[in-house]
Structures are given as structure tokens and as C-alpha cells.
Amino acid sequence: PCVVLWSLKLWRFLTFDRGLTFVQVNVMSYDYSGYGISEGEPSEEACFADAEAAFAYLVNVKKTPPGKIILYEVQYGRSLGSGPTTHVAVNQSNLNQPVAGVILQSPVLSMFRVVFNFRYTLPGDLFCNVDIIEQVRSPVTIIHGTRDEVVPFWHGEGLFEMCPQEWRCKPLWVTDAGHNNIEAYLRYGRH
């Protein structure tokens, strides 16, 4: 399989990439427009376009079947990567070419909901995973720290509950982990 990592700080994942290589998966990583060394202006539209371009590169140039691709948003700058990841997973599901799996780490229901617990999606809200997660037709695993101080833990719980039951994998709730230290908790078996 091939794992696609969407990250705002790729350098933080060099050891993570090596770990994936150790278990014999190929890894593709990139920065979003306007982040890291990538040019352009950051926006929801640009993030979606970047995600689609990376996915298309794997399928069309590298000839990787969608069913062999695992989407893993690692999202440093957190929360942002769950939007493009879910977006691509839904697109592929709607094309009847679902990906092999989706891993969402510290995902958001939507950007506005990080600050306010809205019941409905408001105009102008971004990365509205809450509105599309039910369309994913691939196994979905959600990882979230129970003491996340940036994206409340209930976001992960909410997305888990909204995933179609047949595609919902057992979540990984990392006890006492915050937003930026999940990997450390997992590395030392503290979950």
C-alpha cells in the first residue's frame, strides 16, 4: 500500500516516514499551498486542490490503484488536514473507487466548531467534515487525545459516531494526550 501524509511541517515526520517504510509501505508527503516551501496562498479551495493533485499523481503517474492508497492526515498546524483527507475520501467513494483506508488524527467537525459548539453548519465555515464524513466508503480510523487543548476531544468522538457503522474502525483515544504530543504517547505505549 501507499500512505499519503498531508502535513504542514513535514520535517516533524521524518522518523514517522521511516517507520512506515519499515513496515513496507510507500510514503508520499507534501505541503499545502502557502505552507512550508510551497508557493501560493493558503485557502480551503487550495488545500482541496493540492490534495486532489497529490492523489491524482499517485493514481495517474505512479499507477497506484485507489484501493491501495491509505489517506493519513497528520496535520501539524493540526485540524487542517482532516478537511482535505475527508474530501478526497468522499470524492473517491462517490466515484466508486474508494481508498484502502482513512486515518484522521485530531480531526475537526468543522473550523467554526473548534471555537463554538454550533449545531448547524454556518455560511463561511471551512473543512466541514461533519457534513460529509457519512459519505466515506472506506475504513475510517480516528485518533484523538483526550486532553486536546486545540481541537476538543468531542470532535473526534462526534466524527466517529457519524461514520457509517460498516466503515467505522475502532478509534484510538489516547488517554491524557493533548494536541501536539499524541505521537509521544503512542511511542511510549501511554494510551
- Examine the residue annotation and report whether 148 is marked as an active-site residue of this protein: yes
- Examine the residue annotation and report whether 191 is marked as an active-site residue of this protein: no
What string of DSSP letters covers 120-144? SPPTT----HHHHGGG--S-EEEEE
- Distance from C-alpha of 38 to C-alpha of 41, rounded to nearest angstrom: 9
Catalytic residue, candidates 17, 138, 148, 155: 148
Residue-wise pLDDT for 36-49, tens only, equals 788 999 999 999 99
Catalytic residue, candidates 7, 33, 50, 79: 79
Minimal CA–CA distance to 4: which of 77, 127, 87, 125? 87
Q: What is the predicted pLDDT for the residue at 28?
A: 80
Q: How far is CA 148 from CA 8, 28, 55, 93, in A?
A: 18, 27, 29, 30
Residues listed for the chain: 191
Catalytic residue, candidates 87, 144, 155, 179: 179
- Distance from C-alpha of 52 to C-alpha of 187, rounded to nearest angstrom: 31
- Examine the residue annotation and report whether 179 is marked as an active-site residue of this protein: yes
- Distance from C-alpha of 191 to C-alpha of 187, rounded to nearest angstrom: 10
For the chain, which ranges sit under pLDDT 70?
1, 3-23, 73-79, 188-191
Structural domains of the chain, ranges and CATH numbers in brackets:
2-187 (3.40.50.1820)
Residue-wise pLDDT for 13-37, tens only, equals 555 555 555 567 777 877 888 887 8
CB neighbour class for 85 (10 Å; exposed up to 12, middle 13-18, buried from 19): buried
Kindly state the DSSP code that residue 163 receives in the 8-state scheme: S
Q: What is the predicted pLDDT for the residue at 75?
A: 41
SS3 145: strand
Q: What is the pTM of this model?
A: 0.87
What string of DSSP letters covers 51-111? HHHHHHIIIIIS---GGGEEEEE--TTSSTTHHHHHHHHHHHHHTT---SEEEEES--S-H
